[in-house]
Amino acid sequence: MELKLGKIPSQKGRIAIVTGANNGIGYEITVGLAKVGYKVILACRNIEKASSARNKIMQSIPEADLDILQLDLSDLYSVREFVNRYSESYQKLDVLVNNAGVMTYSEQKNAAGIELQFATNHLGHFALTSLLINHMPNDERSRIVSLSSVAHKSATIHFDDIECKNAKGYGAAYGQSKLACLMFGDELNRRLNKSDCKIRSLSVHPGVSDTGLFDEMSWIQSFLFKVLGSFMTHSSDKAAVPALYAALSSDVVGGDFYGPTGMGGLKGKLGVSKRSEYSKDMQVAEKLWDLSEELSGIEFTL
């Protein structure tokens, strides 16, 4: 299983949105999509950083067709405003890459009082997808790609403690948020199938790459990460391959979970990744869907 961008026919005329496109994996996903002719919307919280990213891409791909729209996924008002602005300028959407994410090492909440990682990594993307899906053609090439993480394997959804205040284990809230991304991608694909819709929902994980998620580490954690990094991580361009494969390959199967398959999924050859048994629980996925509708105030209809 591999992705060769040079062999993909021109995708000119097709449109993609990449959240968190200004750096790291999102930036490399944007580069890959631009290389094959997609018009890519950089959906970013920081417009200045997004502009710098666009300029950098244009230097290496002068023919790239890029636009920037502001989006703060932790703020559901911002999500709605983004969709309104997008709808004013564009009539369709072919690929949505739900990439943006935050990792915090202290308790933080969004303006609505929801744990920040759950709000940003999952709930914002849930709302964004629900408001954009009617823009997508009923076509097998239409894709919704949700970025999860190997961190999902040790996580559960704490329905009675979304803030994970009483959860055991380091990084429980982050793991929960990335588990939610995976289970949302799966449940969305099941609901698309039940609606006889050809749009494909796929989930991926990038392995481990120093993309800025680790900026809040303590100096000791940061030092250890840097020392062990060469053994545990791979570059952002390699980390972007699973998402690009899910977005562009004609061989993908809706509901599949793609990512690096070596060294516990940290890096290595692209393939169908192992997932936790908990993540396969359809009853939990349905309960998560209901909770997401409740917290977002959005009824997700297909």
Rounded to whole angstroms, the Cα distance separating 230 from 20 reads: 24
Active-site position among 86, 174, 245, 258: 174
Q: Exposed (0-12), middle (13-18) or buried (19+): which is 38, by Cβ within 10 Å?
A: buried
pLDDT tens digits, one per residue of 122-163: 999 999 999 999 999 999 999 999 999 999 999 999 999 999
Rounded to whole angstroms, the Cα distance separating 202 from 206 reads: 13
Rounded to whole angstroms, the Cα distance separating 162 from 168 reads: 13
Sequence-distant (≥ 6) Cβ neighbours of residue 25 within 8 angstroms: 99, 147, 206, 209, 211, 236, 239, 240, 243
Determine the pLDDT at residue 100.
96
Determine the pLDDT at residue 167.
87
- Which string of b and e fits 249-277 if b means at least 16 CB within 10 Å? beebebbbbbbbbeeebbbeebbebebbe
pLDDT tens digits, one per residue of 208-243: 765 554 444 444 445 444 544 555 565 778 889 999
Active site residue 174: yes
Tokens of 98: 């739900």
Quick one: which of 87, 118, 83 has its CA closest to 102? 118
CATH number 3.40.50.2300 is the correct assignment for the domain at 7-295 = no
Determine the pLDDT at residue 7.
87
Determine the pLDDT at residue 241.
94
Determine the pLDDT at residue 5.
85
Please state the rounded mean pLDDT for residues 151-177. Answer: 92
Global pTM value: 0.92
Rounded to whole angstroms, the Cα distance separating 27 from 236 reads: 9
- The pLDDT mean for the chain works out to 91
pLDDT tens digits, one per residue of 232-285: 565 778 889 999 999 999 999 999 999 988 776 677 889 999 999 999 999 999
pLDDT tens digits, one per residue of 22-59: 999 999 999 999 999 999 999 999 999 999 999 999 99
Residue 47 dihedral angles phi and psi, to the nearest 5°: -65, -35
